[in-house]
Structure 1
Amino acid sequence: MNPKLELKIQNLPQLPGVYQFKDSTGKVIYVGKAKNLRNRVKSYFIKTQPTNPKINALVSKISDVEVIVTQSEVEALILEANLIKKLKPRYNVSLRDDKSYPYIVITNEPFPRVFSTRRIKSDGSRYFGPYTDAYSLKQTLKLIRDVFMVRSCKYYIDDETITKKKIKVCLDYHIKKCGGPCEGLVSREEYNKMIEQVAQLLNGKIDDLVGHLRGQMEKLAQELRFEEAAVLRDKIKALEIYTSKQSVVSIEPVDRDIFAVAIEDEDACGVLFKVRDGKLIGSQQFFMTGAGYKGEDEVIETLLTQYYLSSDYIPGEILISQNIEEADSIEKWLADRKGMPVKIRTPENDDEARLISMCKVNAKYHLDEFRIQKIKARGEFAPNVLRQLQKELRLDRLPRRIECFDISNIQGSDIVASVVVFENGKPKKSEYRKFKIRSVSDKPNDFASMFEVIQRRYSRVLGEGGKMPDLIVVDGGKGQLSSAIKALENLGVKEQPIIALAKKFEEIYFPGIDQPQSLPKSSPALHLLQRIRNEAHRFAITFHRDIRAKRTFSTKLLEVKGIGEKRAKVLLSKFGSIEGIKQAPIEELEKILGKSIARNLKEFLEKE
């Protein structure tokens, strides 16, 4: 520790507050809270502490410390959460940005609107979510539209707009989907009472809402206002159908948030189960970074403070998988926001333990998915079958990119070749290529054909500065493999992983080994090679058939009086097939061939 920093730490106040560690560039790398700032900051530099690689790395980079004194531990807690969210220091556990998920917003307007959005603005609007399930979001918005007469227009409506009648009622008013606030057909007080009911629904307090609506319905029925009572009856029915689809997890009608986390290396995932009136109404996932060497209790504490910093609704009870050090401070903070006591605790019975366990299982699942996506984004993900293939073929590197060649011909005519590309075990059809063999024309010669296509393929790849594949597979046996190796040697390519896969016994030929090798028939690695080989064969056969059909078609056209090779090519190019020409209007054919020849062609095709 440098003398300047040591002196600064010795003079820190013994009061609650927040400390910020900075590196040599002045960047904040860690934010923490403390009941006693001097003691807490000094503790980082005590060498008798147990070794923690992450703390050691943090301490080695500390060049300065800045503190903010607060009046209480609760204030320190809130300030720490805000600073972490704002600064995202490298060594803190911090929630990843969830702006990609949609929210439902109730706008801050005299006559609020309700819609989904991905942009959160600090304009006094209320946000509910985020919704990680798009279907759940759509169903909720549909329910709101079915039950409540919330306006859907984008106009800003206030008393001046209504007085001047700048906006006229739209179709929604006439089909009873909107009360018509734009023309003052519903008062602001009445409209905003309805909006509060929407907020109740979004907070999961559906039972309370149904009870309130049922009371209103019964009152209207007593006053013989049956049509209005029937409207409320239909709303109640829609709400009851919606809530019946939610899982009952508690006999008591409690409101409770349940949190659990899963941690692996630097990544963590927290899952929240929302229980309202004893029913599980939904879940959310939160991904965190910087969790390495942090305990489960620290990660849960960070999750709670970061989540409730912006949450619109706070239940009376929060269930967590492990006790946290700052539970009392967080309870006081949340109680102040809610206006009534909030209890944070761990499971006390088997049912609660079961819910925590289910929450943890979900957290582990989502964390695994998140890590797989990260690996994929870095291009490091590989299916297990590729690892097995690498082992079975004794390859130095993982065969992420495999290219397979096949030759197709019938009695030496129209010899073609194909190459198909598989990346990470999946076909990449945009990079499939087909070749017409030029060097062989009189009789079939698969060896010469393979030599040509390998040379053409990789002379172009190398000429364009491309990379060779991790594995080349040729369809055939020892002869085809030798021809392919010779073509590669001519191009100066050495130590290229290459094999041949023979169809008859599904044997594999390796360079420099006379006898073929076999993989177990049940081997997933063999199944992958077969799939790639079959795809190359299919692609080559399809190309071969196309060429043969066009050649046959072109030959037939030459039988028509007045049609030579040039006109036959034009017809093929424009209409593609015999059926295409057959279906073509006579006027189109006359433009190309003239009236007489077009008539001859039509007659010929009818006979054919």
Structure 2
Amino acid sequence: MAARPELQDQIRQLPHRPGVYKYFGDEDSIIYVGKAIDLRKRVSSYFTKQDHNKKTQQLVKNIRRIEFTIVDSESDAFLLENNLIKQHQPKYNILLKDGKTYPYLLLTNERFPRLIPTRNKIAGQGRYYGPYANVTGMNLLLELIRALYPLRTCTYNLSPQNIEAGKFKVCLEYHLGNCKGPCEGHQDEETYSQYIQQIRQILNGDLRLPKQYFRERMTQAAQEQQYELAHQFKLKLDKLDEFQSKSTIVNASLSNIDVFSIVSNEKSAFISYLKVMNGSIVLTQSVEVQKKLDEPDEEILAPLIMQMRQEFESESKEILTNLPVPSLPLPGVSIAQPQIGDKRKLIELGLKNVLYLRKEKESMNDRSKDLNEVRIMETIRKDLRLTELPKHIECFDNSNFQGDNPVAAMVCFRNAKPSKKDYRHYHIKTVIGPNDFDSMYEVVTRRYRRLVDEGASLPQLVIVDGGKGQLSMAVKALKDLNLWGQMAVIGIAKRLEEIYVPNDPLPLYIDKKSESLRLFQRMRDEVHRFGITFHRSRRDAATLKTELTDVKGLGPVTADKLLTKFKSVKKIKELTEAQLIEEVGKAKARILLNYFSQQEEPQQS
């Protein structure tokens, strides 16, 4: 697609340097931001390549102005592109949905710290862990920690002075055993701090310290014959083992790794993000993004890696992906595509997640289409007061040109969708001249006599393109076949979109916005297109045959032979004398050449 003259001037001024380009559309708004190692080559490709998909072609059509910024390196270009996309959110750039606030767990910096869920980060409140991709996963972790450690939940200021002054009284949580009562001095700060240290380890994905703590306490209690206490510690250890068994994917030596996997279809890309610490997955997130242009997977994944790491505050120094991505501006971070071993297992786990997500989304789309089709058929059933759902509908139309070459067509819709293998053309055999009524009677009779003879299922609804006249002939045909009452029949008039039903002189007016009427109009347009195409091919064939058979000395057999092989008179005229002789012999070839030369003489004069 050639660029407008004003854009060609701008493109010629672009340097062969790395940088970022911005496309502006109507109202001078940014519609696309891109990066390039060579600005002129990259921007020129939008206007010189011939194999762009429709979305990219639409982008190019909307470009009114181009701006660019030169940077020192591809890495700088990536960062600038990322910032500009976030700032302007251009129409044709892929971007994760904004506005979602992920939950955190806050370990407060108070004396006797609390662990509380929150969506708001306030500096100075304490240490935030997360964000977590979903509330359910965060709550499971919070429940585990509260089951293991008796943490306070009150908001009292537990300073030594306040506790010594006896300002506070223990609450119900103390009596339930969920809190040890530090507000009245029943729990010392050193023991509480040990809990907090272990909780920090769990929140960081490392279960070794808390497991060691409970194992030692269990052993000590057993040695002291405090079997009930030992059992309590064993239950806590079991909870940690159960939690770890659900989380550990490979071995514990794998620590602080981000794993990204991507698959896509024509419309969307699906990305999985796994955060691994100490052999355990501490965060999972799978997302779908709509493709805006025909971007390859690696170009989609690269900016989303940056964005998801930023959203989930990842500081991992190792990234694993299922395909190579362009270099990312992440100093000190390695990016690899492992092919074997435990790291490859992580990639395969991510792929399983996104493949499942893709299948689920595609299945949802299919179910949505099915529900949409059922809704349309149900609307038709109600509008026409049918006794059953019209899963099979057929529509008829006649076509002739000034009474010549009369033909008819039938289109079939199943479950509110075209079933093109069931479309049929008909040559009118029993009617002479332009008689739409008798033609309708003939084709309806032929269609349903054949279905009955073949034992095929009949439609629930028959539509004829026309008013009361065509409808009455369709009804007559069904009665003569003893099929009347086995299917509903309506006629649709062209001018006012009137629906006629048998035995009612007044038309039925369906709401113009109704899905029923839209489907009827679609079927009428489809049968009209299908019939007109067939009629034109017949008419053209008849015209061609007449032209050749009018040539004196050339019979219909020879004319048919030539037209069957070369399809048109134009192509026959382009044959050389030797080619014509080979096809029809010297005598007939000479007749055709003389005829064609006589046809050309008036045009030359």
**Contact kept? 2:17, 2:70, Cα under 8 Å:** no
Instruction: Give the counterpart letter for 1:25 in structure 2.
Output: E
**Contact kept? 2:249, 2:280, Cα under 8 Å:** yes
**Contact kept? 1:249, 1:280, Cα under 8 Å:** no
**Contact kept? 1:108, 1:123, Cα under 8 Å:** no
In the other structure, the counterpart of 1:493 is 508
Instruction: Give the counterpart letter for 2:29 in structure 1.
Output: K
In the other structure, the counterpart of 1:52 is 52
In the other structure, the counterpart of 1:346 is 337
**Any idea what the Cα deviations from partners look like across 1:285-310, whole Å, max 9, x if unmatched?**
11212354111111221221111012
* Counterpart Cα distance in 2 of 1:200 and 1:191: 15
- Please list, as runs of the form range in 1=range in 2, the aligned pairs for 1:466-481 lying within 5 A after superposition: none
* Counterpart Cα distance in 2 of 1:232 and 1:245: 20
Q: CA RMSD in A?
A: 5.3
In the other structure, the counterpart of 2:179 is 178
Quote the offset at 1:22 in angstroms: 3.5
Match of residue 370, structure 1, among 361, 365, 380: 361
Matched, 1:29 2:31: yes
**Contact kept? 2:270, 2:287, Cα under 8 Å:** yes
Q: Secondary structure at the match of 1:210?
A: helix
In the other structure, the counterpart of 1:321 is 322
**Contact kept? 1:265, 1:291, Cα under 8 Å:** no
Question: Which structure 1 residue ranges, 5 or more long, are not aligned?
Answer: 336-341, 402-476, 499-608
In the other structure, the counterpart of 1:542 is none
In the other structure, the counterpart of 2:147 is 146
**Contact kept? 1:94, 1:290, Cα under 8 Å:** no
**Contact kept? 1:203, 1:313, Cα under 8 Å:** no
* Counterpart Cα distance in 1 of 2:186 and 2:68: 56
Q: Secondary structure at the match of 2:27?
A: coil
* Structure 1 residues 380 and 107: alpha-carbon distance in aligned structure 2, compared to 1, 3 A threshold: farther
- Please list, as runs of the form range in 1=range in 2, the aligned pairs for 1:439-458 lying within 5 A after superposition: none
Instruction: Give the counterpart letter for 1:240 in structure 2.
Output: D
- Please list, as runs of the form range in 1=range in 2, the aligned pairs for 1:250-261 lying within 5 A after superposition: 250=251, 252-261=253-262
Quote the offset at 1:12 in angstroms: 7.7
* Counterpart Cα distance in 2 of 1:67 and 1:228: 70
Matched, 1:356 2:355: no
Quote the offset at 1:27 in angstroms: 3.0
TM-score of the superposition, structure 1-length normalised? 0.51
In the other structure, the counterpart of 2:525 is none
* Structure 1 residues 246 and 479: alpha-carbon distance in aligned structure 2, compared to 1, 3 A threshold: same
**Contact kept? 2:106, 2:117, Cα under 8 Å:** no
* Structure 1 residues 293 and 150: alpha-carbon distance in aligned structure 2, compared to 1, 3 A threshold: farther
- Please list, as runs of the form range in 1=range in 2, the aligned pairs for 1:184-203 lying within 5 A after superposition: 194-195=195-196, 197-203=198-204
Q: Secondary structure at the match of 1:261?
A: strand
Question: Which structure 2 residue ranges, 5 or more long, are not aligned?
Answer: 379-388, 396-411, 418-482, 491-499, 517-605
**Contact kept? 2:16, 2:39, Cα under 8 Å:** no
Instruction: Give the counterpart letter for 1:126 in structure 2.
Output: Y
Instruction: Give the counterpart letter for 2:145 in structure 1.
Output: I
**Contact kept? 1:258, 1:319, Cα under 8 Å:** yes
* Structure 1 residues 4 and 263: alpha-carbon distance in aligned structure 2, compared to 1, 3 A threshold: closer
* Counterpart Cα distance in 1 of 2:40 and 2:106: 43
* Counterpart Cα distance in 2 of 1:241 and 1:317: 28
Instruction: Give the counterpart letter for 2:305 in structure 1.
Output: L
Instruction: Give the counterpart letter for 1:43 in structure 2.
Output: R
**Any idea what the Cα deviations from partners look like across 1:318-365, whole Å, max 9, x if unmatched?**
2211011114x33x1xx4xxxxxx432102316654553443243132
**Contact kept? 2:21, 2:35, Cα under 8 Å:** yes
- Please list, as runs of the form range in 1=range in 2, the aligned pairs for 1:449-598 lying within 5 A after superposition: 489=504, 492-493=507-508
Instruction: Give the counterpart letter for 1:44 in structure 2.
Output: V
**Contact kept? 2:24, 2:63, Cα under 8 Å:** yes
In the other structure, the counterpart of 1:310 is 311
* Counterpart Cα distance in 2 of 1:65 and 1:159: 63
* Counterpart Cα distance in 2 of 1:33 and 1:269: 23
* Structure 1 residues 323 and 208: alpha-carbon distance in aligned structure 2, compared to 1, 3 A threshold: farther
* Counterpart Cα distance in 2 of 1:51 and 1:483: 47
Quote the offset at 1:280 in angstroms: 5.0
* Structure 1 residues 488 and 266: alpha-carbon distance in aligned structure 2, compared to 1, 3 A threshold: farther
* Counterpart Cα distance in 2 of 1:57 and 1:165: 74
* Counterpart Cα distance in 2 of 1:364 and 1:241: 27
Q: Secondary structure at the match of 2:91?
A: coil
Instruction: Give the counterpart letter for 2:327 in structure 1.
Output: E
In the other structure, the counterpart of 1:286 is 287
In the other structure, the counterpart of 2:39 is 40
* Counterpart Cα distance in 2 of 1:309 and 1:156: 35
- Please list, as runs of the form range in 1=range in 2, the aligned pairs for 1:152-167 lying within 5 A after superposition: 152-153=153-154, 155=155, 157=157
**Contact kept? 2:373, 2:415, Cα under 8 Å:** no
In the other structure, the counterpart of 2:577 is none
In the other structure, the counterpart of 2:497 is none
Quote the offset at 1:171 in angstroms: 1.8
**Contact kept? 2:317, 2:334, Cα under 8 Å:** yes
Instruction: Give the counterpart letter for 2:151 in structure 1.
Output: V
**Contact kept? 1:247, 1:281, Cα under 8 Å:** no
Matched, 1:210 2:225: no
Quote the offset at 1:261 in angstroms: 1.4
* Counterpart Cα distance in 2 of 1:279 and 1:116: 22
**Any idea what the Cα deviations from partners look like across 1:135-177, whole Å, max 9, x if unmatched?**
x444323212101333334x47575995798765422233332
In the alignment of these two chains, the number of paired residues is 404
**Contact kept? 1:269, 1:288, Cα under 8 Å:** yes
**Contact kept? 1:106, 1:112, Cα under 8 Å:** no
In the other structure, the counterpart of 2:90 is 89
In the other structure, the counterpart of 2:408 is none
**Contact kept? 2:198, 2:209, Cα under 8 Å:** no
Q: Secondary structure at the match of 1:92?
A: coil
* Structure 1 residues 92 and 121: alpha-carbon distance in aligned structure 2, compared to 1, 3 A threshold: farther
TM-score of the superposition, structure 2-length normalised? 0.52
Quote the offset at 1:91 in angstroms: 1.8
In the other structure, the counterpart of 2:105 is 105
